[in-house]
Structure 1
Amino acid sequence: ERNYRFEKAEVDIMALKEDILAIVEVKTRSTADFGNPQDFVKPKQIKNLVKAVDEYVNVNGLEVEVRFDIIAIVKAKEGYEIEHIQDAFYHF
């Protein structure tokens, strides 16, 4: 599922494989001069994502392990640099 919304949160990508629900936050930057894209995922955003995912799991009656990933994309001279960070942060 893509762009799932709940209250103030928007989940970019939710992917279910077997018993793991991967929640993927996609962050892009035109340059890494001011920091890596993953550095721009702030605690309040994480809190909202966790709340949205809790709601999604409960409403859909899912018995899954939830994993939070980040896809970090930075524009390079030719194309893009893409990094997939699994277990980028843990829910609390």
Structure 2
Amino acid sequence: MGSNIDKGIIGETEAVNYLMSKGYKIMDRNYRTRVGEIDIVAVKSNILAFIEVKARTSLNYGYPYEAVNRQKQRRIYSASLIYIKHKNILDYQIRYDIIEVFLKGDKKINHIKNAF
């Protein structure tokens, strides 16, 4: 597998396909603000999920979710507030998820709901 950017693109594409297969509607991908970026914004029922995707080919550096530290969580949270205000979102429950994508062999996806 190529660079980390390639892994990220493949991981996000796998995550989007997974979410759509589970009935989510993808609202945005790679939503950038001055404070941070949100990989995927998706809706299912009355839940608006802000999703961080972490892809790995091995566990040499730990589980993917472990890379979403407090600082990264704060950036995602701050970016989500901008998103909510910019899109004038009122009637959704907000949730913060992590999707781990394991790229080696058979691709495996682990969706951690309410991760933070």
Structure 1 runs not aligned, ≥5 long: none
Alignment coverage as a number of residue pairs:
88
Identify the residue that residue 47 of structure 2 maps to in structure 1.
Answer: 20
- Please give the TM-score of this superposition, normalised by the length of structure 2: 0.70
Q: Shift of residue 68 of structure 1?
A: 0.6
Which structure 2 residues correspond to residues 7-86 of structure 1 after superposition, within 5 A? Answer: 7-63=34-90, 64-76=92-104, 78-86=105-113
Please give the alpha-carbon distance, in whole angstroms, between the structure 2 residues aligned to 1:16 and 1:70. 15
Q: Is the 8 A contact 1:32 1:74 kept in 2?
A: no
- Please give the TM-score of this superposition, normalised by the length of structure 1: 0.86
Query: Relative contact order: is structure 1 or structure 2 higher (C-alpha 8 Å, sep ≥ 6)?
Result: 1
Q: Shift of residue 17 of structure 1?
A: 2.6
Please give the alpha-carbon distance, in whole angstroms, between the structure 2 residues aligned to 1:13 and 1:72. 13
Query: Alignment RMSD, CA only?
Result: 1.3
Secondary structure of the residue that 1:45 maps to in structure 2? helix
Please give the alpha-carbon distance, in whole angstroms, between the structure 2 residues aligned to 1:44 and 1:17. 27
Q: Shift of residue 79 of structure 1?
A: 2.3
Cα distance 1:56–1:32, how it changes in 2: closer, same or farther (>3 A)?
same
Structure 2 runs not aligned, ≥5 long: 1-27
Q: Is the 8 A contact 1:26 1:70 kept in 2?
A: yes
